[in-house]
C-alpha cells in the first residue's frame, strides 16, 4: 500500500558493553499526509530512537522508513526536527537562526527579498516578531523553543518531527505553544510526529496516539484514534465525554505497562480519569499522567 510515510518493520540493535541491545523490534506504522501523530510510552522505551530513524540520524538494523516511496537514508530538509533542547546557534540573532535554515533550503528557489519575507513570516507565526535582533541567551526558554519551531516550519518540511517539544516549558507557555501548533498545522497541513509524556497534550493535538510497549525490543502496543472535531478547544474539551474517554484510555495503557507498578485501585483509576486541566507537573507525575523522565 502506498502511504505517505511508512515505518516498515523497523528494528534496531545497539552494540553495548554487555552485548547487543535490541531496542526496537518490528515497529510498523503508516502515516497519512497531514496526520498528527503522537508517540507516547515509558522513559527509555525507544521513542527518540524511532524519531531519529525517521529523521535519518540513525539507521535501522532491520526494515526501514519510506517517505513518498523513497527510502530515508540520511537527514534531509524534508524532515525537520525540533529537539527538546532547542538547538539555536548562540552567536546568531533570532532572525539569523531562522534565516540560515531558509537560505539553506531556498537558496535557488527564492530571491533574497523573498527569503527575508519568509523568515519574518515564520517568526510571526510563532509570535516572535518583536525579538528578531535578540540573541538566544537574551530570550526565555519558551521563546527559544518558538524560534526552533519557526526554523523547522520555515524549511517547509514534509514531516515535522518533534521530540518532547514543550516538555521544558512552564504550563502557560506550553498551553500557548500547543494552541499555536494546532493553528499552524491546520493552516499548513503538515504531517507531524511528536513525542510527548503529557497525556492531555497527546489527546488534544493528535489524530492518532501511538502507545509503545516497554523496552527492550519495544514495539507498538496500541493505537488510539482520536476522533475529536477540529478546531479543538481545550476548555470545552475538559468537560467532553469522548475527550475524557480517550484520556483515560491512554492513562490505562501507561499504568498497565508500568513495570513493577502495583495494579491500580478503582479509586485511583477514577481520580486519573477525572483529573482537571490545571494540575501541576508534580501532581501529574504522581498520577502517572505525566511520566517522570
Ligand X SMILES: Nc1ncnc2c1ncn2[C@@H]1O[C@H](COP(=O)(O)OP(=O)(O)OP(=O)(O)O)[C@@H](O)[C@H]1O
What does the binding site for ligand X look like in residue numbers (CB under 6 A)?
14, 16, 21, 23, 41, 43-49, 215, 293
Residue 48 in contact with Mg ion, rule: CB under 5 A: yes
State the binding partner of 228 from Mg ion, ligand X, none, CB within 5 to 8 A by kind.
none
Query: Whole-number minimum distance, CB 109 to ligand X, in Å?
Result: 35
The helix (run of H) or strand (run of E) holding residue 97 is helix 94-106
Query: Whole-number minimum distance, CB 44 to ligand X, in Å?
Result: 4
In whole angstroms, what is the distance from residue 290 CA to residue 197 CA?
5
Q: How many CA atoms lie within 13 A of 200 on its CB side?
A: 29
State the binding partner of 280 from ligand X, Mg ion, none, CB within 5 to 8 A by kind.
none
- Nearer Cβ to ligand X, position 41 or 63? 41
Return the sign of the alpha-carbon dihedral for residues 199, 202, 208, 212: negative
Residues in the chain: 293
Q: Which of the ranges 2-10, 43-51, 220-228, 244-252 carries the binding residues for Mg ion, by CB under 5 A? A: 43-51
Q: Are 25 and 11 in contact (CB under 8 A)?
A: yes
In whole angstroms, what is the distance from residue 14 CA to residue 192 CA?
27
C-beta neighbour count of 188 within 10 angstroms: 12
Query: Whole-number minimum distance, CB 21 to Mg ion, in Å?
Result: 16
- Nearer Cβ to ligand X, position 47 or 144? 47
Q: Are 97 and 136 in contact (CB under 8 A)?
A: yes
Query: Whole-number minimum distance, CB 202 to ligand X, in Å?
Result: 13
- Nearer Cβ to ligand X, position 119 or 145? 145
Query: Whole-number minimum distance, CB 62 to ligand X, in Å?
Result: 15
- Nearer Cβ to ligand X, position 96 or 222? 222
Q: Are 230 and 277 in contact (CB under 8 A)?
A: no
Query: Whole-number minimum distance, CB 47 to Mg ion, in Å?
Result: 5
The helix (run of H) or strand (run of E) holding residue 115 is helix 112-125
Question: Which own/partner contact pairs does 98-103 have at CB distance under 8 Å and 24+ positions apart?
Answer: 98/122, 98/123, 98/147, 98/150, 98/151, 98/154, 101/151, 101/152, 101/154, 101/155, 102/154, 102/155
Tell me if the bond preceding 100 is cis, omega within 30° of 0: no
- Nearer Cβ to ligand X, position 188 or 293? 293
In Å, what is the CA distance from 199 to each residue of 112, 206, 243, 258, 289? 43, 11, 11, 15, 6
State the binding partner of 23 from ligand X, Mg ion, none, CB within 5 to 8 A by kind.
ligand X
Query: Whole-number minimum distance, CB 74 to ligand X, in Å?
Result: 17
- Nearer Cβ to Mg ion, position 43 or 277? 43
- Nearer Cβ to ligand X, position 46 or 136? 46
Residue 190 in contact with Mg ion, rule: CB under 5 A: no
State the binding partner of 16 from Mg ion, ligand X, none, CB within 5 to 8 A by kind.
ligand X
State the binding partner of 167 from ligand X, Mg ion, none, CB within 5 to 8 A by kind.
none
Residue 49 in contact with Mg ion, rule: CB under 5 A: no
Q: Which residues bind Mg ion (CB under 5 A)?
A: 48
Amino acid at each position: 500500500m502506498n502511504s505517505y510515510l511508512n515505518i516498515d518493520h523497523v528494528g534496531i540493535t545497539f552494540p553495548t558493553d554487555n552485548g547487543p541491545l535490541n531496542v526496537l523490534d518490528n515497529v510498523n506504522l503508516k502515516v497519512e499526509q497531514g496526520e498528527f501523530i503522537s508517540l507516547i510510552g515509558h522513559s527509555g522505551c525507544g521513542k527518540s530512537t524511532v524519531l531519529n530513524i525517521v529523521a535519518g540520524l540513525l539507521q535501522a538494523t532491520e526494515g526501514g522508513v519510506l517517505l513518498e516511496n523513497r527510502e530515508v537514508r540520511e537527514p534531509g530538509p524534508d524532515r525537520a526536527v525540533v529537539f527538546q533542547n532547542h538547538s539555536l546557534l548562540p552567536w546568531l540573532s533570532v532572525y539569523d537562526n531562522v534565516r540560515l535554515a531558509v537560505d539553506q533550503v531556498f537558496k535557488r528557489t527564492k530571491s533574497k527579498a523573498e527569503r527575508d519575507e519568509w523568515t519574518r513570516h515564520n517568526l510571526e507565526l510563532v509570535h516572535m516578531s518583536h525579538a528578531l535582533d535578540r540573541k538566544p541567551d537574551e530570550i526565555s526558554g519558551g521563546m527559544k523553543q518558538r524560534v526552533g519551531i519557526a526554523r523547522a516550519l520555515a524549511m517547509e518540511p514534509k514531516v515535522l518531527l518533534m521530540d518532547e517539544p514543550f516538555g521544558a516549558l512552564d504550563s502557560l507557555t506550553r498551553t500557548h505553544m500547543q494552541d499555536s501548533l494546532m493553528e499552524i498545522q491546520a493552516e499548513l497541513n503538515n504531517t507531524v510526529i511528536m513525542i510527548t509524556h503529557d497525556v492531555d497534550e497527546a489527546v488534544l493535538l493528535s489524530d492518532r496516539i501511538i502507545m509503545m510497549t516497554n523496552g527492550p525490543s519495544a514495539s507498538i502496543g496500541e493505537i488510539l484514534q482520536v476522533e475529536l472535531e477540529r478546531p479543538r478547544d481545550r476548555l470545552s474539551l475538559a468537560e467532553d465525554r469522548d475527550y475524557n474517554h480517550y484520556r483515560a484510555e491512554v492513562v490505562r495503557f501507561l499504568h498497565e505497562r508500568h513495570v513493577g507498578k502495583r495494579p491500580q485501585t478503582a479509586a485511583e483509576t477514577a481520580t486519573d480519569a477525572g483529573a482537571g486541566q490545571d494540575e501541576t507537573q508534580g501532581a501529574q507525575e504522581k498520577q502517572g499522567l505525566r511520566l517522570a523522565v
